[in-house]
Structures are given as C-alpha cells and as structure tokens.
Structure 1
Amino acid sequence: MSGTSRARIPYQPALDGVRALAVAAVLAFHGGVAALPGGFLGVDAFFVLSGFLITSLLLAEHQHTGRIDLVAFWGRRVRRLLPALLLVLLVVVLVSRKLMPGTELGALRWDALAALGYVANWRMANRGGDYFAATGSPSPLQHTWSLGIEEQFYLLWPLLLIALLAWAARRGAVPPGRRLGVALPLVLLGAAGSALAAAALFTPGTVDRVYYGTDTRAVALLVGAALAVPLARRDAAVTGRPARHPVLGALALAGAALTGWCWATADGGDAWLYRGGLTAAALAVAAVIAHAVVSPASPTARLLALAPLVWLGRISYGVYLWHWPLFQWLTAERTGLTGLALLAARCAVTLAAAGGSYLLVERPIRRVRRLPRPAPALAGTAVAGVAAVAVLGTVPPAPPPKPAIALDAAPPTAGAAAGSPTPVPPARRPGRRPGPPRIAFLGDSVSWSLGTYLPEQDKFTVSVRAVQGCGIARLPEVRYIGEPHPNYPGCEHWDARWQRGVRADDPDVAVILLDRWELMDRKLDGRWQHVGEPAFDRYLAGELDRAVGIAAGRGAHVTLLTAPYTRRAERPDGGLWPEDDPARVDAWNRLLRAAAERHHATVLDLNRRACPEGRFAWEAGGVRVRSDGLHFTPEGVQRWIAPWLLPELYRLAVRGA
C-alpha cells in the first residue's frame, strides 16, 4: 500500500499495475463478489511489493553512498503515509459519532488510537474482549491492521538490514559486491520462520491471532525483501534494458495462475492458508514482480503497465484507506441499492475520495522538496490533534433522564398478548422471601440491554441476570455473519448460571428474552440447521422447556418476550445475513408461544412494540429504539418500551407478591 519514494531506483509502471490488481481484489472481496472469496489476499500482494520496493530503495542507497540514512528514510515514509491516514481517521471518528451506536464508540476510540500508533493489527487480534464490539458490525478502521504491519516492517527492517550488511562487511573474504548474497539466506530464513510460526500457532479458534500477527504475516514482506536482494545487482532491473528470460516468464505465468486460483478459492479460515498457503501466495506474486522488473518489455510488464491499472495503482493507498469505512457507511438500507449496483456506487465514491486525497493531500506534500524546520513539530501536533479528536469524539452521549412510569394504569396497552392477566389482589406465594415485588431478566445481551436501561422504580426491584453472548442453544458449531463462531466460554453451562441467579433473586416474575443466538445456523446431526427446521425446532423446544423450568424454579411467574426483528449487519452485497431473516424470528416466536402454552407462562409481544409496522424499525413512538439493529437504546427502553412493559410486569408481580 506504500508507494515508491524519490530514491535511486527508476519508476516502473508495471508495479503500479500490481498495486491496482491487489486493491481491486480487496474491493471485490469486501464488496461481496462471489467469484473472489480470496480477494483478501490482495493485501499479501501489497506486502510482497512493499517488501521488494523498500528493500530495493535501501540497498540502492547503500550501494551509492555506503550507508543508509534512517532518519531520511523514516521521514519519507511519514510524508508518504501519515497525512492521508490522519485525514481518514478524522473523518471516520466524526462520521461514526453520528452513525455508530454509543455502545461501540468506546471500542472505536481504541481502534483509532491503535491505527494512529500503527499497532492496529494487534488491536484487531485482541478486540474480542468487548462483547458489543466483537459481535457488532466490523470496525470502520478494521482495515488499518495491514498498515500497522507495514509500518512495523518499515521501522524494524532497515535496522535489521543494516545489521546484516554490517555483518557481511566484517567477513573480510567476501568482496563488497557479494555481501548482499551472503545476507540473502538470512532473509529467507526469516521468511521461513514467519511461515512456521503461522503453522504452529494456527488453530480454528485462533484465526485472528495468526491472521493479524506481525510475526505470522511477515512472510510476504520478507519474500519481497528476499526478491530485492538478487535483483539489486541486475542491470536490467535498474536500466530497463530489454531482455528475454523464458524461465522467469514461465514462473511468472505460473505465479499469475496460482494467484488467480488463490483469490478465487481461498477462505480466511482455511487451515491450508496458514500451513504454507500464504507463503505460496507470496512466492506467486514475487514471480510476477520479478519478471516485470527484469523484463520490462515482456508481456507481463506491458499488461501491468496499462494506463487504467497505472492510474489506479497510483491512488491505491487512498483507495485502500477510504474503501472500508465508505463500504460500511454506504449500506443497502441507506442507498436502496444491492448487488452490483451497490458495489458500483461504493467504488465510485471510494475512487472520488481517494483521487481527492491524492491530488489535494498526498501529492502536494510529497512534492515539497525541502520541508520547513518546524515540520516534525507540525506533524506531531497533527497527530496529537487527531488523537484528541479520537478520544473526545468517541465519548458516548449522556443518557436521557429516566421518565417516571405510571404502574397503576388498569387497561393493558397495545402490544400485550391476547389474554394478558388482569390485576388481582396481592397474595404471597409459599416460601417467598419478604420484600417488595421482584422482577428478574434472563436471556442474552438483548435482554441485558432491556433490563439494564429500564428506569428505576420504587414499587418493585429489577435484577438483570441476562448473560451477554449466551443464549440457550449450546451446540458448539455456529455460523455468525457467514463465518464460524464458537460459543463464548461458559455458555454451555447457561442453565447453571440461570439457576444461581434465580436462587439469589427469588423473583416474583422471571422475564425471558432470547434472540440472536437461537437464530443462527448451528450444526446438528452432522449438518447445518436453523430454527424453522423440524429437528432443530425440537432441539430448541427442549432447551426452552429447561429455560422456563429454571426460571420458575422458586415459584416465579414466567413471562416470555417475543424476539423483535433485527438488522445487525448487512452482507457485503447488501443482503441480510440468515440470522436477520424475519422468517427465522417468526419461527422462534412460534416456539415461544408453544412453550408458554405448555408451561402456563405469559407471552408479551415485544416484537409488535419494537416493530409496530410488522418489519424491522430503528425508531418507534418517535424515538430510536435500536442502537445497532439488535440491542435497545436507553432512550427507546425508557420512553417507549418501559411505559408498555413495566405496568404489565407489575401486575404479574403483585399477583404473586
């Protein structure tokens, strides 16, 4: 994703073509193009090219001057990469404050600071500690992980290269012209070590660690660096003199074929990728680069130097920076587009933003021959300013004041199920601990958001025993937004956790709200199934019977809330993920009603209250009720749901109090 700086190697338009194809693959992958499921490997093509170019620049400087000016090198990298990144970070933080739910702003703050410090890859590898961030829409800065790996390479690799060259120079028997050759085996050894680390660390449950790790992804950068060592001594690489290299041409053809196959078949969770596949993909790209550089008149170089590819390659850094947040913001819901039309719109806006960044920010700064003396101070001030915006701009808005709820309104409100209970004189249930009426919320994170945001009451107490990330379905193989997703630790023992909560709270009314985790695909009897299929429904009904039995364990009246329709995230092509399918929500709610009949429980139609028009809605009753397409907002709970729900729960509670 970096470009050539003004150094002692000639400009080669074919390398811009490599950039163009790499970024196009990434755009296609993130745009949901089914033909390129492995388009994410375009990032590895960038890595190979960066390793090659940076090493070539450093070696050229060393050959001409006998030294490497680290300060000047790092200064060029800062001028090339930092201004555009600062602009993107600033825009992302400001726009996300308007578009992103408050529950995810805290995670965005750390994402922005990690991107600013070029350690985003390690941040993304360990981002799962925040449940709402881990299960929410991807961060608009998720793509900066690759910039982190490259910048870490730019920081460390020149130091290691200087050490290698110094080591070779101390070997007196080695002529100066052959010192690079002595260092080459060590570079290859580093690449092999990175590949072995990926293979050793990979397990299906640790994909993020291997995918984002600098140590495990450095193989592509080091393959590019290793390629630069022998080519640094070739006249054709620096003069562009025509030459024929049939063997290298055959390798380039094989490399292009392997690259195309990887982009068309790979999946980010495939074990073979981390057990040699990433290395093979890097070697394939290196073969193409080598032929284009050594034989600039070859078909490889001429095809890569086509004008549209060169143009896209020149702005590829900006394209990469802007595409991901723009793809996140330009959704099917906001644009009304899906499929290829949505992808075309996203790409058009991305190219416009990248072109503007290149013409107005990147190129002017790069063309300044001599920076003013306070330039480092200005750069530091700019970084500090963006960091301040990232911190202050991601403070969640203050919650609205909690309104008072009238609990003694006699008639049931709209949204209550037919046959809702009528008030009866208070009566004590046997064995009940003294105290005001008690209501406990059980379920998952949707139940947690509802129970937590309820306004406080003086006539009864509310406890929230819902567990974020845990439903009642505990089959271990899960698909979430199209990818494998394990159950969170402890979810397989949800029943024991519920029992402890019920024993501790001794509720009069136990409210159960379950949503997302029961709607996902899970593997049952050796195949993927979901709610609405007979075998899976029987499985869920058994778990639901156990849930109701636990909730009623101390005599509480069980109230089941229907699951509202959801829109947690869009597929890359703008469609809905299966777990957001309204048909699945309807199937689950039918299971709830059947369980209520079996156990003489009450059903309250939360879906009708949250989605009054019979389809997913962000707003109801004039307030925003959903923060992220799944969880509730404090304002929506307090001003719309609670005035309907709390009187119903209070009637049920005093009947058994």
Structure 2
Amino acid sequence: MLITTESRSEAGLPTRGPAPASHRPGSFRGDIEGLRAVAVLLVLLGHAGVPRLAGGFVGVDVFFVISGFLITGLLLKEHDRRGRISLTGFYARRAKRLLPAAATVLLATLALTWLLLPRTRWSATAWDVVASAGYAMNWRMAAESLDYATVGQAPSILQHFWSLAVEEQFYLLWPLVMILLGWIARHRRRRRDGLLLLGLAAIALPSFGWALATAPTDPSAYYVTTTRLWELAVGAAVAVAAGRSSRVPRAVAAVLAWAGLVAIGASAALVDTASGFPGYAALGPTLGAAAVVGLGSVAGRAGPALLLGQLPLRAVGAISYSLYLWHWPLLVAAGAYLGDLAVGPALAVVGASFLPAVLTYRYVENPLRRSPALTRRPLAALRLGVACTVGAALSGLLFQLLAVPGTPGTVPSAIPVQAPAGPAASAPVPSWGAAALGSSPRDSPAGIPVDRVDSIFPDPLRVGEDVPAAYQRCIVDQATVTARRCVFGDPAGRTTVALVGDSHAYHWLPALDPAAKRNHWRIVLYAKATCPFVEATVIFAGRPYETCTRWNASVRAALRGPDRPDLLLTSDAGYLVVENGRTASSTMALSPKLRQTWRGMVDAGVPVVVLRDGPYHERNIAECVAENRKRLTRCASPRSRLDSGGGPAQKKAAEGLAGVHLIDLTDAICPADRCAPVIGGVLVYSDNNHVSATYMATMEPRLEAALRPLVPAR
C-alpha cells in the first residue's frame, strides 16, 4: 500500500510524497508509446476507409486521454521536484516539441495545394492554414459544420488540425488552473491532489454534460473544445491519482487494463458517426485509454504492456505526432489528383506518409526537442515557437493574396438576368444563361456541351460568393429548431407564398424573388440546411436528424397559424428516412412521407407546388470547370443522372394528389443528352447538386410562367 505524506515544499505548497518510479506519471513508459501507435493507426486506417473500422476516429479520444495524463504528470513531477511550476518552461517545451513540425507540414500543405488541389479550394486552404497555425481550427470546423454552403463540399486538407487545436487550448488552460488550485491549497491548507481532482471534476462534468446535450443534434459538437475537455480531464485525473493505483492488486489491474484496450478496439469497430459523438459513445475509448495508462504500470507484463511494449508499436508511437500531421494532407491531395480513392490506394497513401513522418521526426522534432541550447534557454524556445506560428500564418495569408485570384466586388443584391456586369458582358452568346435555350431547350444548340466558351460567369473560382448576402443569412443551421423566416418579393403584397425546405428549395430564390416583386407576391422563406419539409425523421451525417424533425413541426405550426400562406412552394434533395426505427435503404422511401405532408397542407387549405429537384453530377462542376476551361466537355454528365437527387421521390409523391402540382424545369438545367456545365456563358452548377445563383436568376421567366397560373389571386 502506498503511504502518502504531507510535506512542505520550498514554496510552502502542500504536496504528496513521491510515487514509486514505476507509477509516477511523467516517467517514460513503453506501453504508452505503444498506445500512441494504436491510436494513430486507428485514425489512419479509419481515414483510409478500411471496412469495419468506421470508428477509427476514436484514436483521437485516446490521444486526448494520453495528453491529459502525460501533461499533468509532467507538471506534478516538476512541482514535486522543484516545489513550483514554471509556465515559461512548460510552454517552451510544448513550443519546441509541437510547433516546428506543425509549421513544416502547414508549409508543405500549401505546396500540395498549389500542385494538386483544384484552384477552387485554394482560398479555403489558405485560411485553414491561418486557423491551424493559430490552433483555432476546431472552431473553424465547428462553424463550417453549421454552414449549409459547406455541406457536401470536399473535406479540408487540414481538418485534422482540429484535435491539435483542442489539445493546445487545454495546454494553455490547465497549467494556469493547476497553479491557481495550488495557491488555494497552500493558503487553505488543503491537500493539493484533492483540490486538483475537484477542479478536474468541475471541468469534466459540465463538459460531458454539454456533449450529451449537443452531440446528438449539433454537428459542431464534434469539434468544439467545450465538448472535449472532459476527455483530457479524465487523463489528467488518472495522473493525479497515479500514486494510488498501486493499491489495486496486480491481477485486477491486468484485467482492467486489458479490458480498456479491448474497449478501444471495440469502439473503433462498432462506433460510427451515427453514435452521437462525443457523447456516451466516447466513454468506451476514453475510459478504456484511462484504464490502460492508469493501471498498465501496475499490471506490468501481465497487462497490455506485453503487446504495447513491442518494438514495432513503440517505433510507430514515437513518430505518431508527425504521422498524424502528414497522413491527411497526403490523402486529400491524392484524392483530388486521382479521384476518389478506394481502400487499396488510400492504404498506399497512408503507407507513403510514413516517409515524411520519419524524416520530420528525425530532422525537425528530435533535434529541436533535444537541443541543449533551447533546453537551457526557454525564452529562445518560446521565440522559436512564435516564429513558427507567425511564419505559418503569414504564409497562409501570402498564399491567399498572391495565389488566389483577387476578390471581386460586392455581389449585387439583384442578379442580372440578361447580361452580367463586368468582363463577362462581352461573351458572344445570343442570350444570357437559360435565356439562350429559347422556348424549346431540348432542341437548342446552346444546351449542347462544348469544349470552350469565351467567358464564364460567375468565375468558378469565386462561385461561393455568387449568392447575395441577403439570401445567405436566411437559411438556418442544423442546430436551429424554432421556425425563423425571411420575407422577400413584395413585402406589402396581398398574396403570400411560403418557400419551405432545404437548400434545394432555397436555391430557387434568385429566380423567385424578382418574379415575386413583379407580381406583388410576398415570399416567406423557411429554410434549414439539409432539412426537407416532411413529417418524418430523415438521416443526416449518418444519424437521425432530430433537430430537423423539431424544426418542421415548428414550421407546420407557423404555416397553419394566423400567417397562413396562400400557396406553399417546396423542394428538397434526396434523403434517407427513418421507418419503424430503422433507416430505409432508398431515398424513394421518402416519397410516401412527402405525400402525407403535402396532403396535410392541402387539407389545411394551403395548395402545394413542388419544384422538381434537378440532376446531381458525379463531381463538383465549379471545380471541374476551373481545371478544364479548354475541355469543358470533361465536366458534362449524362442526362440519365436525372434519376439522382430528390426528383424521383417528389414526382411519385405528387402523382394524382389533389391540390398538389409539380413544376419540372429540368430541361432548362440539363437540355441535352449530356448536361452542359456552362450554358449561355453562365456556370450552371456551383457544386455537384446546387444550381448557381446566377444561372437560377436567368431561369426567372420560366419559373414565373409556370408559377403564375398556380398562385391564387387575391
């Protein structure tokens, strides 16, 4: 049994007697090095798409526990040895250990972006570099997870920096909390470790509670620091209690430590994005890792150290940081250059990432970490870290300024229908956008794909700025559950038309808004990202989209209230739906749910008009056009893809339903046997499934002609 004693440090702070060397956190342990290897390999294999390893991302949770354990252990060890904690020394060690390698990968990522990524991604990557250098990438990812414009977009080449940002924020916070609690312990004559455990509980419990409350419904919960602190706090608590671990019988410790390792593996195999992470599902890898690091030294060779202490795993664990840094940029760059990677090629890329990881470990990490000069002069190490951070951030800004095309002027609030203002006005086309198709789009030569056009508007490199800001702020994020509306068209119009649905309803607004102004219709928009207007629970990001269900209930109440519209206009993308507690296998299962929803609105006295969803393309059209300006036919998709998206389910749902009409303008979007990426000098799609705002604006006359007979006169 370990007997703890109270002694006075030179600073007068109560401290515990030192734990035995075998249990002391902060001492090197081969089993923890091996656990690092397990964690990073789970992440790598999961990112490579290895079957039955959808939960490979739990390796990040293991890293959080290890980090909390080791950092706290090192700080406790320093205090036990010196009687104080040096913030300068701590941050200097973190700076020389982490920042040079991170800066190296950030600079290399800019080079990969220049060489291999479509130019449409350059600007986002530049800002990702800035956010990653400042260790704020998790908050950037959280914000983008709530932005409808990023749904379905290619993943960031630096999105893996989110977990490093969480750890760095913990490193900034926790030493300060430890010093504060130590000061309280000294002045109140309390046991240091007891106060530390109370402090960790005060961090972990609200954090875990917040994770439970938000993870099932809020995509940003995966990234934010507030839902992740509890995992680091668990590791820190294990370090604080490490001296007491020797009280556990070795056989019991071995069983629990092995169970912890099994829990990590089982979580990787069984957990997926539908599990509401990081809620209850995160307990498996987190507590499993805590058992391994907390009891592994007690169990000795009878525990997981027998496996984790093997040289190959320890070797991978040693380079795990550099390996984590390198693997994702290489996977994304290879995918951008070669197309979607199957498991085999992805594993080859992961294997190739070992080379730069080893080189970074040998020539960047180790020389700086072991530098006698930097060890003796912590301020010099801090200056090095600042230089790496500032240098990487400035590189991202310079890339944005020099490599990314200049930012255009403010997008006009009313998108031109006949011709663009600016360089594209010189395009030698008989009419602008969909107007070039004339009255018979299927017979028009303007709809046939060609290799070259004289000009394209909007510029595919800036297509994200094509939608006026007045429209953008009126589609709510995934977390919102209470109906919120925006009014367009003629606000004083006597006829009210409600436009309801997801972004595939919302993207009709550039055509509907000016038509409504001219006809004195009042347009009331209720739009929620990735949320179709349906009385059912749909699947988003692999799990039931409960906030969508609640949003739709709120919208239905609004539509049947005092502000009941004269007409409901709706559209949506294709979705899987929950039926009898299970996810349906086809988006066509949404059809009877749509029919039920529309019938309910008709029964409430509101006629329904459905705007048929357009075809989806196999690739991002803006990216393809940006890279193939002289071979645009490479970006043309077969018209047979009309059966993709929400169109088929909508068509079936509307058949023979009184009070419901379907408007199908697909011929004006894809008039030929292959869908042209550019029609009448206008980029048709902004990604692979959303019609660009400018092209949609040129659809105004067609939409108005189809809609006017269906809008009740008042």
Normalization by structure 1: what TM-score?
Answer: 0.70
1:632 to 663, 668, 691: 691
**1:312 maps to which residue?**
316
1:95–1:582 distance in 2 versus 1, CA, 3 Å: farther
Shift of 1:94: 7.1
Q: Tell me the equivalent position of 1:521.
A: 576
**C-alpha deviation, 1:385, in angstroms:** 0.9
Question: Following the alignment from structure 1 to structure 2, what is the Cα–Cα distance between the partners of residues 649 and 208?
Answer: 35
Q: 1:189 aligns with which of 193, 198, 205?
A: 198
**CA shift at 1:67, angstroms?**
2.6
Write the distance in 1 (CA, Å) between the matches of 2:708 and 2:144: 44
Which amino acid counterpart does residue 66 of structure 2 have in structure 1?
L
Would the alpha carbon gap of residues 394 and 454 (structure 1) be closer, same or farther in structure 2, given more than 3 Å must change?
A: farther
| Correspondence 1:265 to 2:289 | no
SS across alignment from 1:609:
coil
Distance 1:627 1:355, change over 3 A: farther
Pair 1:480 & 2:497 matched: no
Q: Which amino acid aligns with 2:571?
A: L
Report the equivalent of 2:80: 63
- Distance of aligned partners of 1:490 and 1:299 in 2 relative to their CA distance in 1, 3 Å threshold: closer
SS of structure 2 residue aligned to 1:521 = coil
Provide the secondary structure at the position in 1 that maps to 2:228: helix
- How many residues of Structure 1 are paired with residues of Structure 2 in the alignment? 586
How far did 1:285 drift? 1.9
Share of identical aligned residues, percent?
31
Q: Deviations over 1:326-350 (max 9, x none)?
A: 4445449944642x31431342344
Instruction: Give CA deviations for 1:151-182 in whole Å, capped at 9, x if unaligned.
Output: 1221222233334445555677x9xxxxxxx3
Partners of 1:26 and 1:548 lie apart in 2 by 50
Map Cα deviations across residues 176-206 of structure 1 (whole Å, 9 max, x no partner).
Answer: xxxxxx3333333344444432453323655
Whole-Å Cα distance in 2 between the matches of residues 289 and 164 of structure 1? 24
CA distance in 1, matches of 2:220, 2:148: 18
Aligned residue among 385, 404, 412 for 2:394:
385
3-state secondary structure, aligned to 2:441: coil
**1:538 correspondence with 2:592:** yes
Q: Report the counterpart of residue 102 of structure 2 in structure 1.
A: 85
Q: Indicate if the aligned counterparts of 2:55 and 2:268 stay in contact, CA closer than 8 A.
A: yes
| Deviation of 1:297 (Å) | 5.2
Partner secondary structure for residue 577 of structure 2: strand
Relative distance call for 1:618 and 1:358 in structure 2 (3 A) is farther
Please state how far the C-alpha of 1:22 moved relative to its aligned partner: 0.7
* Preserved contact between residue 444 and residue 466 of structure 1 (Cα < 8 Å): no
Counterpart check, 1:452 vs 2:476: no
RMSD of aligned C-alpha atoms? 5.3
Q: Specify the alignment match of 1:223 in structure 2.
A: 234
Normalised TM-score (structure 2): 0.65
Q: How has the CA–CA distance of structure 1 residues 144 and 10 changed in structure 2, closer, same or farther, with 3 Å as cutoff?
A: same
Partners of 1:321 and 1:634 in 2: how far apart?
Answer: 37
Match of 1:427 in 2: none
Listed one character per residue, the Cα deviations across residues 215-262 of structure 1 (whole Å, up to 9, x for unaligned) are: 54333323333333455799x9xxxxxxx9434323322322333333
The equivalent of 2:346 in structure 1 is 343
Say if 2:624 is the partner of 1:565: no
Task: Please tell me whether the aligned partners of residues 407 and 646 of structure 1 are also in contact (alpha carbons under 8 angstroms).
Answer: no
User: More deviation in 446-455 or 345-354?
Assistant: 446-455
Range with bigger deviation, 184-193 or 69-78: 184-193
Residues 16-36 of structure 1: CA distance to partner in whole angstroms, max 9, x if unpaired?
211110111222333444433
- Hey, what's the Cα distance between the residues in 2 that align with 1:462 and 1:259? 61
Cα 1:117–1:367, aligned 2, differ >3 Å: closer, same or farther?
same
Distance 1:450 1:364, change over 3 A: farther
- What is the aligned partner in structure 1 of residue 40 from structure 2? 23
- Aligned twin of 2:428: none
* Structure 2 counterpart of 1:158, one-letter code: P
Contact 1:16–1:313 (CA under 8 A) maintained in structure 2: yes
CA drift of 1:564 comes to 0.9
Rounded Cα–Cα distance in structure 2 between residues aligned with 1:92 and 1:547: 52
| Aligned equivalent of 1:591, options 652, 658, 673 | 652
Equivalent of 1:603, from 664, 678, 681? 664
Alpha-carbon distance in structure 2 between the residues aligned to 1:212 and 1:380: 21
- TM-aligned CA deviation for residue 71 of structure 1: 0.6
Partner residue, 1:177: none
CA distance in structure 1 between the aligned counterparts of 2:406 and 2:92, rounded to whole angstroms: 36
Deviation at 1:520, TM superposition (A): 0.7
Contact 1:565/1:607, CA 8 A, preserved across alignment: no
1:301 aligns with 2:305: yes
Tell me, in whole angstroms, the C-alpha distance in 1 between the residues paired with 2:251 and 2:197.
Answer: 24
SS at 2:664 equivalent: strand
1:574 alignment counterpart: none
Q: Deviations over 1:134-161 (max 9, x none)?
A: 5645544443332222112212222333
Any stretches of 5+ residues in structure 2 without a counterpart?
A: 1-23, 375-379, 412-419, 426-430, 445-489, 621-640
Measured in 2, the distance between the counterparts of 1:298 and 1:307 equals: 17
Give the Cα–Cα distance (whole angstroms) in 1 for the partners of residues 441 and 653 of structure 2: 21
Change (3 A) 1:532 1:112: closer
What CA distance in whole angstroms lies between the structure 2 residues aligned with 1:249 and 1:477? 45
Q: Quick one: which amino acid aligns to residue 484 of structure 1?
A: P
Structure 1 residues 545, 469: CA separation in 2 closer, same or farther (over 3 Å shift)?
Answer: same
Residues of 2 paired with 1:511 and 1:567: CA distance? 31
* C-alpha distance in structure 2 between counterparts of 1:58 and 1:491, whole Å: 51
Question: Displacement of 1:379 after TM fit?
Answer: 3.8
Q: 1:226 to 1:263 in 2, by over 3 A?
A: same
Gap change, CA 1:292 and 1:120, over 3 Å in 2:
same
Post-superposition offset of 1:584: 5.8
Instruction: State the match for 1:613 in structure 2.
Output: 674
Alpha-carbon distance change, 160 to 532 in structure 1, aligned in 2, over 3 angstroms: closer
Cα separation, 2, equivalents of 1:83 and 1:309:
24
Deviations 1:425-456 (CA, angstroms, capped at 9, x unpaired): xxxxxxx99x9xxx998864245446539999
- Cα distance between partner residues in 2 of 1:255 and 1:408: 65
Query: Structure 1: how far apart are the matches of 2:26 and 2:103?
Result: 28
Cα distance in 1 between the residues matched to 2:678 and 2:316: 41
In 2, the alpha carbon distance for the partners of 1:329 and 1:135 equals 17
Give 1:289's match in structure 2, choosing from 289, 293, 304.
293
2: CA distance, partners of 1:106 / 1:350: 25
Opposite residue 65 of structure 1, the aligned amino acid is: R
Give the CA deviation at 1:477: 1.8
Equivalent residue, structure 1, for 2:251: 246
Determine the structure 2 residue equivalent to 1:413: 441
Q: How has the CA–CA distance of structure 1 residues 42 and 377 changed in structure 2, closer, same or farther, with 3 Å as cutoff?
A: closer
Quote how far apart the aligned CAs of 1:74 are.
Answer: 0.1
Q: Which amino acid aligns with 1:72?
A: G
Against the structure 1 CA distance between its residues 32 and 561, is the aligned structure 2 distance closer, same or farther, given a 3 Å change threshold? same
Residue type matched to 2:198 in 1? L
Gaps of 5+ in 1: 1-6, 175-181, 237-243, 417-431, 570-579
Taking a change above 3 Å as real, the CA distance of residues 443 and 189 of structure 1, as seen in their structure-2 partners, is closer
C-alpha displacement at 1:75, in angstroms?
1.2
Name the CA distance, whole Å, in 1 between partners of 2:41 and 2:48. Answer: 10
- SS, match of residue 578 in structure 2: strand
Q: Can you list the C-alpha shifts for 1:575-632, whole angstroms capped at 9, x where unaligned?
A: xxxxx99556562364388479987765332487188437xx8778998643332223
* 3-state DSSP of counterpart to 2:528: coil
1:369, distance to aligned residue in structure 2 (A): 3.0
